[in-house]
Amino acid sequence: MNLGQLKILQEVITLSVFVPFAVFYMRQPLKLDYLYAGFCLLGAVYFIFRNPS
């Protein structure tokens, strides 16, 4: 893996741990911003891990 892939992977792991922690443990309301951030990270994962032809 290169540095860009590792950084995106770190962000995905952080968001997938932090959002449930914030919602269930800290009792924060689930916001639409979390969904938007997830979609942005899915796009980042797609573009950083695809094989350029």
Say what the pTM is.
0.76
For the chain, the farthest-separated pair of C-alpha atoms sits apart, in whole angstroms, at: 45
| Whole-number pLDDT of residue 26 | 95
Nearest to 1 by CA among 47, 48, 53, 52: 48
| Whole-number pLDDT of residue 53 | 55
The whole domain housing 44 covers 3-49
| Whole-number pLDDT of residue 47 | 92
The two tokens of residue 42 are 């899915």
Please write the tens of the pLDDT for every residue from 15-49: 899 989 999 999 999 889 888 988 999 999 999 99
CA–CA–CA angle 39, 32, 49 (5° rounding)? 10
Residue 28 DSSP one-character state: P
- How many angstroms separate the CA atoms of 26 and 28, rounded? 6
pLDDT for 52 beyond 90: no
| Whole-number pLDDT of residue 24 | 94
The total number of structural domains in the chain stands at: 1
